[in-house]
A and B are shown apart, each in its own frame.
Chain A
Amino acid sequence: MNRKQIFVGLIALFVGLTVYLIDRSPEQTYFIYKIDSAISLHHVFPTLFGPLGKILPAFVHVFSFALLTAGILACNKRGCVVACIVWLSVDVAFELGQKFGVWTSNLVPSWFEGIPLLENTGNYFMSGTFDFIDLTAIAAGSLVAYLTMMRTMERRVLS
């Protein structure tokens, strides 16, 4: 495992979490709304990230999960590229799903209904807004993740 990469990934994840806890009102976020709106700090603190808060989650998601994946698997250079591309594809696919919300939500199985988290899948595609800026942030997130991986890669000492 690459602890540095896991640590950086977790820190980034925490930053992403603060966007939802502080900058966004609780009803905009399923997990806060579902757990308890009282956990939201939106009324407690002023907005932390300003306009950046709109795109930060898209950037942070791909960045942190690519790093966590690479960190857990202790990937080599090629593995890092694969981790970045996989998470880039996942995030882009979900973003595109929002552009074609009606079509995508029809693919969501009806048994998701009533199951915590899964029940929000249709709503995610229908209510979410497709945004090219989010796509740019996702691409930037995967690129920065790759560069971070290269900086934090543990070199194996040849004996």
Chain B
Amino acid sequence: MSKKRGRFMNLVRLIGLVIVVAAGLASIIATGGGGGGGGSGTVSSSGGTGSVALYVADGPADSYKHIYIWITRVELLPVDGSGAGPVLIYQSPNPQGYKVDLLSYREEDFFLTLKPNVPAGWYDKVRLYVSNIESVGGPCDLGLDDNIKLPSGKIDLNPRGPFEVKKGEALAIRLDIDANKSINLHPAGKSGKCIFRPVVFVDIEPVKLRSGCPEILTGKITRVIDTSAAEGINGFVLTLPDGRGNIEVLLSESTVIFDQEGVPGTSADLKVNDSVWVRGRIDSYGKLSASVVVVGEVLAIDGVAQSTVDTDGQFVFLPSTGEAFIGELNVQLFDGSSLVLVGCDTIADWGAIQPNRRAKVVGKYDAQGQVFRGIVVFLKELEIFGNVVSVTELDGGLNLVIQPSGTTEVTVYVPSNAPVYLEGDGEFPRALLCEGREVRVIIDSTVESPLTAKLVRVTSETLEGAVLQGTNPYNTVLLVKPNGATAAVYVGVQPYATVLDLRNGKYKPIDISEIDPGDEVKCFGVQKCPDDATSPVSFYAFVILVIN
């Protein structure tokens, strides 16, 4: 009996040991990075090709009206040791480059191009070539044609780690060019210009995981795809303007098509050489699944709804000042075809259109009927901008009392799952959300009461000065003497803070431990909370730029 028991126990031990060893090895791999996907090999070693979708975005820069950047070329650089050369993702046919107004893309990303046939494998840098930067408005606008000096037109961007282009899959690369941090107000030598030291956050993820707004593209149909015997076409190849490449657009039963006149049509209305406006999402194979296609040019008008939608599907809309129309417009919606969206992608019913609701209507104007044919209505999300007056904990969330300028205080409930971000940067600890913070709160329109936040963005502050004392692994605090101040302050470096070395035209992510006494830094973050009397830290930094 005891022998049997002994054998049984040995078996149990053996099984237990196998489980522990397997779990031990698995847990090492399982806790590694998730975003880059898996696989092996360097460029081309795994064979085949994938595609790369390139997006450009910008953080807030309230003091500027426009910030134009001319992009001439974008390349991917394979990891060292692969022996492969740079892979071209975008090349502007215009030597001056493709002009992008960064501030037009603060709420949604700008889709620059989709490059097919990118060799599958590992890459570790994105090389961005910029020919010019120009701002309108703001402190750098001195009436010069080239008001911002660009120290180097070639910028090697290091994402958080190497990334893989997988065979047959589309990878999204998002270049978030943070204009506020990039444009340095110090005059460049005797020229008096501002200096552009690029601060670009590179986000890379498979297209299928992208959660931003759907793409809105305009271009020309260069080929019709008709692979089935059924009536109508299956899709078309859309050629984007300014040499931005081609993308295959797929149509499905749910795709809504509007004809040249702006009334619902069918895929038979789509012909080669037609200009089209397309809204849709890029799928994991790099093709655009269209939700709306409109033949011809469309108008997009910002304004305010003046009425609800009547029984004929019409509502009154007042365009904002500066739009193509002056005075009230009747907007006609088409049952089953016109889309009403809250934000960029939340489908709402027509009842969501209410008087005084800010919106953007996309459609075509019928001059004869004097009606605007509404194809898509984007209802702006309600936003509250102001200073936090008080913060109280409530039901696992927070109750924020906000003082917007010129109006009375507003109380907003921030549920525990509502993300809180530092404007233009990453996540923001709720513990630092306190009295005095300037916040922009996006309201969740699906919750009627209480006023509930969907997202909170905290305005970033800046601290610039010389480092007197660096950090150590167990105390990530810098002692910095701010410019113009007499006393030094402690700057607490947040976990996962972005630290960039921008000295001598470089662009290199570094570890906080590489900052030495004497370095000049520009920190983006927030001051400590007024009720925090105990902490020696005066400023919490989320992004640190080493500038000299």
B161 CB contact (under 8 Å) in A55, A72, A109, A127: A127
Chain A residue at smallest Cβ distance from B26: A117
Q: Is the CB of B162 closer than 8 A to any CB of chain A?
A: yes
Q: Which of B34-42, B175-183, B355-363 is found at the contact surface with chain A?
A: B34-42
**Chain A contacts for B36, CB-based, 8 A:** 123, 126-127
B16 near A72 with CB under 8 A, answer yes
B33 near A103 with CB under 8 A, answer no
A32 near B34 with CB under 8 A, answer yes
User: Which A63-119 residues have C-beta < 8 A from chain B?
Assistant: 65, 68-69, 72-74, 87, 90-91, 94, 101-103, 105-110, 112-113, 117-119
B34 near A110 with CB under 8 A, answer no
- Contact of A102 with B42 at beta-carbon distance under 8 Å, contacts A61-B24, A121-B29 already known: yes
Interface of A, secondary structure class, is helix
Interface string of A29-53 (1 = CB under 8 A from B): 1111110000000111011001101
**Chain A contacts for B134, CB-based, 8 A:** none
A90 near B20 with CB under 8 A, answer no
Q: Is the CB of B152 closer than 8 A to any CB of chain A?
A: no
Q: How far is the CA of A23 from the CA of B79 in the complex (A)?
A: 29
Interface string of A1-33 (1 = CB under 8 A from B): 100000000000000000010010111111111
**Chain B contacts for A126, CB-based, 8 A:** 36, 79, 122, 161-162, 164
How many chain-A residues does the 8 Å CB contact rule pick out?
A: 59
Q: How far is the CA of A46 from the CA of B160 in the complex (A)?
A: 23
B41 near A124 with CB under 8 A, answer no
A53 near B495 with CB under 8 A, answer yes
Q: Is the CB of A141 closer than 8 A to any CB of chain B?
A: no
**Chain B contacts for A34, CB-based, 8 A:** 34
**Chain B contacts for A117, CB-based, 8 A:** 26, 29-30
- Contact of A30 with B495 at beta-carbon distance under 8 Å, contacts A105-B122, A113-B38 already known: no
Which of B13, B45, B160, B161 has its CB near the most chain A CB atoms (within 10 A)? B161
Q: Which of B255-263, B306-314, B424-432, B525-533 is found at the contact surface with chain A?
A: B424-432
**Chain A contacts for B474, CB-based, 8 A:** 51
Q: How far is the CA of A110 from the CA of B476 in the complex (A)?
A: 40
Chain A residue at smallest Cβ distance from B9: A1
B122 CB contact (under 8 Å) in A1, A73, A102, A118: A102
How many chain-B residues does the 8 Å CB contact rule pick out?
A: 53
Q: Is the CB of B343 closer than 8 A to any CB of chain A?
A: no
**A64 shortest CB reach to chain B, Å:** 9
Q: How far is the CA of A65 from the CA of B31 in the complex (A)?
A: 15
Q: Is the CB of B447 closer than 8 A to any CB of chain A?
A: no
B40 near A112 with CB under 8 A, answer yes
Chain B residue at smallest Cβ distance from A20: B31
Q: Is the CB of B484 closer than 8 A to any CB of chain A?
A: no
User: Which B417-470 residues have C-beta < 8 A from chain A?
Assistant: 417-419, 427, 429-431
Q: How far is the CA of A68 from the CA of B22 in the complex (A)?
A: 12
B28 near A28 with CB under 8 A, answer no
Q: How far is the CA of A105 from the CA of B37 in the complex (A)?
A: 13
**Chain A contacts for B29, CB-based, 8 A:** 30, 117-118, 120-121, 124
A87 near B24 with CB under 8 A, answer yes
Chain A residue at smallest Cβ distance from B28: A94
A106 near B162 with CB under 8 A, answer no
B39 near A122 with CB under 8 A, answer yes
Chain B residue at smallest Cβ distance from A66: B24
Q: How far is the CA of A69 from the CA of B25 in the complex (A)?
A: 13
A90 near B431 with CB under 8 A, answer no
Q: How far is the CA of A107 from the CA of B39 in the complex (A)?
A: 11
Q: How far is the CA of A23 from the CA of B429 in the complex (A)?
A: 11
Q: How far is the CA of A34 from the CA of B32 in the complex (A)?
A: 11
Chain A residue at smallest Cβ distance from B25: A90
A112 near B419 with CB under 8 A, answer no
B38 near A118 with CB under 8 A, answer yes
B20 near A68 with CB under 8 A, answer yes
B31 near A30 with CB under 8 A, answer yes
Interface string of B121-155 (1 = CB under 8 A from A): 01000000000000000000000000000000000
Q: Is the CB of B27 closer than 8 A to any CB of chain A?
A: yes
Q: Is the CB of B6 closer than 8 A to any CB of chain A?
A: no
- Contact of A120 with B495 at beta-carbon distance under 8 Å, contacts A46-B431, A133-B473 already known: no
Given contacts A90-B25, A94-B28, A126-B162, 6 further A-B contacts (CB under 8 A): A43-B417, A43-B418, A55-B473, A105-B122, A119-B39, A122-B40
Interface residues of B (CB under 8 A from A): 12-13, 16-17, 20-21, 23-42, 45-46, 79-82, 122, 160-164, 205, 416-419, 427, 429-431, 473-476, 495-496
13 contacting pairs across A/B (C-beta < 8 A)? A1-B13, A23-B495, A25-B496, A27-B34, A28-B34, A29-B32, A90-B24, A106-B40, A110-B46, A119-B37, A123-B33, A127-B35, A128-B32
Interface residues of A (CB under 8 A from B): 1, 20, 23, 25-34, 42-44, 46-47, 50-51, 53-55, 57, 61, 65, 68-69, 72-74, 87, 90-91, 94, 101-103, 105-110, 112-113, 117-124, 126-129, 133
